[in-house]
Amino acid sequence: MDLSNTFTRDELRQLREHDIVIWAGRVIFEAQPPISEDALRDIRQHIRGTLPEDLLSLWRLTAGGRLDYDLRLTMHGNQEAISWAELFYHDSDGYRDLPGWIEHEQELSEEAAEARGQKWDGGIDVLPVGGFEYCDRIYVVTDDKASDYGHTLAWKMGLPAAWRHAMHEDGLATIASTLREAFQCLGLEKDPISDDGADTGLEFLEYLDCRRQDHDLPAALADKVIDFYRRAVLDWRGALETGTLSDNPLLATLALSHAIQQDDATLLTQLLDQGVTADTPLRGDMGPLTLAVINNAWSALLALLDRNPPLPERLLDDVNGPVPKALVVRLLTHPDQASVQATLRCVLHGAPDSAHCIAERLSVQQRATLPEQKQALLTSLRASLEKVRQGKLSHYLGESGLRLQMERLEAFQL
C-alpha cells in the first residue's frame, strides 16, 4: 500500500522512534530494529531455497514485533481463529525466539525424514515467521523450486476431544500467495473504538496511549495512527446496506454471528433474505443453529428453524441456559435430538419442564443410564464446590452457583 498520502516521511520517522512500523497497510508495534546481516546469514544457512522478497522488505523495516488483528481461516471444514500476535525475532522473550522456532522446525524435519527412511540434509522448506506461543504459527515457504514458493501458511494446533466443536487435529491452511497479501487478510472484526464488545485492538490502543502519555508521542500523530488502524475494520454493515454481503463469505459470517449473539431475529431474517447462507460454520464446527443454542438466542433460533434447515445431531446437548419448553418440543420433532446429556443440561440451567420433555423421548437404554450419569454429575459438582471452599479452585459459577446446580439436580426426578 502506498503510504505517501497517509503519513509523511517525518511522521513515519517519528513512529519508528516509538517502535511503530507500518507495512502492507497494517500496524506493527513494539517493532524491532531492521534485521542485521549476521541474522540474515544465520537464517539462510538453515533454509532450503531463498528468502522471498516480501519477507526481506518487511525485515528491512523491522525484524519483529507485535500485531493486534483478527484472522479467520477454514481448516478441516471448521472456521478457525488464528492468533498472529507476534512476528518472531532473535533474542525475543517469547515462548521461543526466531532461532528457537527454526530449531524446532529442524527437529520436525529430521523426524519426518527418518520416518520416510531418508537422510535429512539439514534444511527446512518453510520458515516460521510469527504466531502465538506454541498453538498458532505463521510460515513463509522458502523452497524456490516449490509451486507455492513465497506463500504464507498458517498452522494451528488441534485441541483434545473434550473441547466440543473445536478442531481436534492440527490444521494447515494457506493465508495468501505472498506475505504482503497475507498482511492484507488481517482485519478487525469489531471496531475497538466504538464497539464495547471488542477485544482485538485494545492492547495496541493501550500501547499507543502509553507512548502518548509517557513517551511524548504527539497526540495528533497518535490519533492519525488510530484512524489508519481502524481502516482494517471489516464492515459487514456497509456490505449489508449495498446488498453485497452474500458476495463476501467472511463478512457474511461476521454478520450472522452478530445477529445470533445479539438474538436479533429481525437482522437475521434480513441477512437470510439477502442470500446469506446459514449452512456454514461460524466458530469451530458450530453452525448458526448451534451458536444460537449456546448463546440462548431463542428468537434467532426460531427464525432459523422457520427456514427448515437440517439440524445437527444432538443440538440440545449444547443447551447453555433455560431453554423454553415449547422450543424443546419443536426440536424433538426431529430425529437424534433427545439425549441424557441434554436432559441433565436442562436441569442444570433451570429448565426442568424442558428436561422432562427430553427424558420422555429417551430410549429404554438411555433412561437406564440417566440415574448413574446424574449421580456422577452431582459427585463432580460436590468435588468442585469443596475445592472452591478450600480456595483450591476458581470456578465460573462460584460457590452459590455450584450449590444451585446441585439443588436442581437433587430435586429432579423422572
pLDDT at 20: 98
First to last CA, the chain: 66
Residue 93 pLDDT: 86
CA pair distance 18, 14, nearest whole angstrom = 7
What is the reported pLDDT for 4?
A: 44
HSE (side-chain half, CA atoms, 13 Å) at 398 = 2
pLDDT at 1 (0 to 100) = 47
As given in the structure block, the three cell numbers for residue 25 are 497497510
| Rounded to 5°, angle at Cα 234 from 232 and 240 | 145
pLDDT of residue 13: 96
- Strands 136-141 and 126-132, bridge-based pairing: antiparallel
Q: What is the pLDDT of residue 94?
A: 84
Q: Give the per-residue pLDDT at 323.
A: 96
H-helix or E-strand containing 68?
A: none
For 305-348, how does the pLDDT look when each residue is reduced to its tens digit (9 = 90+)?
Answer: 999 998 999 999 999 999 999 999 999 999 999 999 999 999 99
- How far is C-alpha 273 from the geometric centre of its chain's CA atoms? 28
Q: How far apart are CA 127 and CA 132, in angstroms?
A: 15
Which amino acid is present at 60? R
Model pLDDT for residues 214-273, shown as the tens digit of each residue: 999 999 999 999 999 999 999 999 999 999 999 999 999 999 999 999 999 999 999 999
C-alpha cell at 62: 523491522
214: number of Cβ within 10 Å: 8
Pairing of strands 72-75, 78-81: antiparallel
Question: How big, in percent rounded to 5, are the helix, strand and coil portions of the chain?
Answer: 45, 15, 40
Residue 191: all three cell numbers together: 471496531
- How high is the pLDDT of residue 414? 81
Residues of the chain falling short of pLDDT 70: 1-5
3-state SS string over 199-265? CCCHHHHHHHHHHHHHCCCCHHHHHHHHHHHHHHECCHHHHHHHCCHHHCHHHHHHHHHHHHHCCCH
Q: Work out the number of other CB atoms within 10 angstroms of the CB of residue 355.
A: 25
Whole-angstrom distance, CA of residue 54 vs CA of residue 166 = 33
Identify the DSSP state of 86. E
**Grid coordinates of 19:** 517502535
